[in-house]
Structure 1
Amino acid sequence: MTTLEESIYQEITKKLKDAPKNILERVLGYIDGISEIKNADQLNKLKIQVNEDYADYKSGKTKLFTIEEAENNVENSISENEN
């Protein structure tokens, strides 16, 4: 594991250490989605899903991290995969 990967892993672990199971499952789904992205259309579909989840959060239906955090994680992972 590279230093960057270790740093990302530690940050994710720190942020999610007390998260309920449904949040962990959702984050895992995002990660799976990111790893399967092969084109911009797939990225847009994942962003739509993240936006829908954020709308649920804002309405009080579920508790999630912010959309900015999710989008940054998606963008960072894609950038890393492209390099």
Structure 2
Amino acid sequence: MQKLPLEVQISQTVKATKYGAMSIIDISHYLKISGAEVIKQVKKCPDLTIVGNAVVSKKEGGNVWAIGAVVGIMFCLIQVFPAMVG
């Protein structure tokens, strides 16, 4: 079984946290690598960014479908409800 690339391991570790952020020191202790290696690997990963001494995962745009669904439902309600009442 092949081991995942280090930048993928870091990305999964950070995204698994409650707030999507971890300090560089915590990541280095968890994965047993140096802090400099963490910084080098985070710079390779497009899903992560370094803010101060923390590695933060970038937000994903998954809410577009939910917003579209709400707008669609509201449009249907505005069109159908007056016809049902009047």
The alignment's TM-score, normalised by the length of structure 2, stands at 0.32
By percentage of residues, which structure has more helix? 1
Rg larger in 1 or in 2?
2
Kindly indicate whether structure 1 or structure 2 has the higher relative contact order, using CA contacts under 8 Å at least 6 residues apart: 2
Higher strand share: 2
When normalised by structure 1's length, the TM-score is 0.32
